Amino acid sequence: MPKADRGTALAHQAEPGTPAERAEASWQYAPAPESRDVVSIKPEYGLFIAGEFRPAANGRTFGTINPATEEPLAQVAEAGQQDVDAAVAAAREAYEQVWRPMPGSERAKYLYRIARQLQERAREFAVLESLDNGKPIRETRDVDIPLTAAHFFYYAGWADKLEYAGFGPDPRPLGVAGQVIPWNFPLLMAAWKLAPALAAGNTCVLKPAETTPLTALLLAEVCQQAGLPPGVVNIITGAGDTGAALVSHPGVNKIAFTGSTEVGKEIARAVAGTGKKLTLELGGKAANIVFDDAPIEQAVEGIVNGIFFNQGHVCCAGSRLLVQESVADTVIERLHRRLTTLRLGDPLDKNTDIGAINSSQQLAKIGELARAGEAEGAHRWSPPCQLPDKGFWFPPTVFTGVSQSHRIAREEIFGPVLSVLTFRTPDEAVTKANNTPYGLSAGIWTDKGSRILWLTRQLRAGVVWANTYNRFDPASPFGGYQESGYGREGGRHGLAAYLDA
């Protein structure tokens, strides 16, 4: 069989279902590509320090590529120690001279301006994010960019009301915030970090992930456009060494990190004893629990959204499906059927459900864990699926026959891979759900409100969704327990992380 064109539906060979279902599932969709013309990508990007773009002091750069095609997109400056020093110094000066003394009502105006610019340039941001990250345009357009603007709007509203936020009559900012973010929601994570910090009166030095620097740099242009005073936001691109230099910089008062538990632990060690305030938003291995009284079709949509949204590159992904034994066969059968209708391919195609894996390293990691699942005896299933020739791709994958000791039930895969376990009683569901070193999120699917309330008290997870999954709102706090980190982002709680309260 020839390789599928990008944007075609997953191909079907010997799939389950009646002939009518198979005929429906094999419909081909005409490509509906979003235009790339709204974005002009420069060949080279500098560091954003003190309100201007500049090359790295040592002249070093690195490339960023489109993971769906492996096409080089741009060269980006790689910040070394001297650049980190310059960014922190610019942030300090802006903090002392401009941002801290400024009334909250004035700070709010800048945040509102940034939010409005994000909305006006939403299409440009959405296309650029899909190009640099590999995620489908449907998601960048409908989730990443609107939520990013919503975060700035939300925290703009708090900037002049800090004394009413419940942190005492005169809560003070901390100073300079060093912020390190991952590649799975590049622009949204920048907003989660910058918006509350700025609203609370701090200045920022942000380091985006090496594989997804472009939307943060476009956000730097928006800061210029909004007239944000120089040095209030500084964006330094680079790899782990740049992040480590920022974290250990003595001029930084607060560190906020989102990423792997491993690096989070390193950062906690580096920050210990320095007096810097720290929030960590790390990995997860969430249980998505389906009871026998759940609305099954709705639950199947929730399972799909829980693990295949953003190719499963989601810290709170519902990567462990716990399904009550009496309905397990039905749920798996309908899940298989639903997965055969997902379309994998060109992230810029508006029909695409599953885009590219963000990097070859991440693809290798997902592959390694999936092979471990098979080797340990779990049953692997994917819809028949032809992957594009170039780029980094992994088909939606479901493992059944998974036991709690399997690596795929314990480790964060951070890819489109679901591990299915079963349970008989609510107590068993709780025990299995909590049998993880993480504690970021969980999902419950049941008809009974009382069961939802009981379970939410039993589950050791920072966020519990009931009869829905992966819902985000800037007003709602988000964060974890145990190896998922500490501190909360979003809502009033998110302000506490940036106030000396």
- Asked if residues 455 and 423 have their Cβ atoms less than 8 Å apart, the reply is no
CB of 166 to ligand NDP, least distance (A): 28
Q: How far is the CB of 209 from ligand NDP (least distance, A)?
A: 4
Residues that bind ligand NDP (CB under 6 A): 180-184, 207, 209-210, 239-240, 243-244, 247, 258-260, 263, 266-267, 282-283, 315, 362, 365, 412, 414
Instruction: Check: CB of residue 121 under 8 Å from CB of residue 222.
Output: yes
Q: Give, as one character, the DSSP assignment of residue 34.
A: P
Q: Looking at residue 354, what DSSP letter applies?
A: B
CA distance 414 to 113: 34
Beta-carbon contacts of residue 111 (< 8 Å; ≥ 6 apart): 152, 153, 155, 156, 159, 195, 198, 199
Minimum CB distance to ligand NDP smaller for 315 or for 354: 315
Location of structure tokens 């002392």? 96
Q: What does the block give as tokens for 187?
A: 């622009």
Sheet of 203-207: strand order equals 52-54, 47-49, 233-235, 203-207, 176-180, 254-258, 277-281, 485-486
Cβ proximity of 496 and 197 under 8 Å: no
Give the neighbor-by-neighbor strand order of the sheet with 71-77: 44-45, 71-77, 61-66
Nearer to ligand NDP, 399 or 445 (CB): 399
Nearer to ligand NDP, 51 or 264 (CB): 264
Q: How far is the CB of 84 from ligand NDP (least distance, A)?
A: 11
Catalytic annotation present for 281: yes
Q: State the Cα–Cα distance between residues 225 and 213, nearest whole angstrom.
A: 19
User: How far is the C-alpha of 351 from the C-alpha of 30, rounded, in Å?
Assistant: 9
**Residues 129, 281, 411, 412: which is the catalytic one?**
281
Residue with the CB atom nearest ligand NDP in the bound state: 243
Closest CA to 27 of 11, 40, 5, 49: 11
What residues contact residue 489 under an 8 Å CB cut-off, 6+ apart? 192, 193, 196, 256, 279, 281, 477, 478, 479, 497
Q: Pick the catalytic residue from 34, 210, 223, 315.
A: 315
Q: How many CA atoms lie within 13 A of 328 on its CB side?
A: 16
Burial of 425 (0-12, 13-18, 19+ CB in 10 A): exposed
Q: How far apart are CA 462 and CA 354, in angstroms?
A: 27
Asked if 106 is an active-site residue, the reply is no
Q: How far is CA 232 from the centre of its chain?
A: 24
Indicate the residue among 216 and 444 with the shorter CB distance to ligand NDP. Answer: 216
143 or 162: whose CB is closer to ligand NDP?
A: 143
Number of Cβ within a 10 Å radius of residue 475 = 12
> Using only C-alpha atoms, what is the Rg of the chain?
23
Q: Which is nearer to ligand NDP, 315 or 421 (CB)?
A: 315
The one-letter amino acid at 398: V
Is the Cβ of residue 245 or residue 429 nearer to ligand NDP in the bound state? 245
Nearer to ligand NDP, 73 or 267 (CB): 267
Q: Which residue, 263 or 327, is less far from ligand NDP as judged by CB?
A: 263
Distance CA 253, CA 197 (A): 12
Would you name the residues annotated as active-site residues? 281, 315
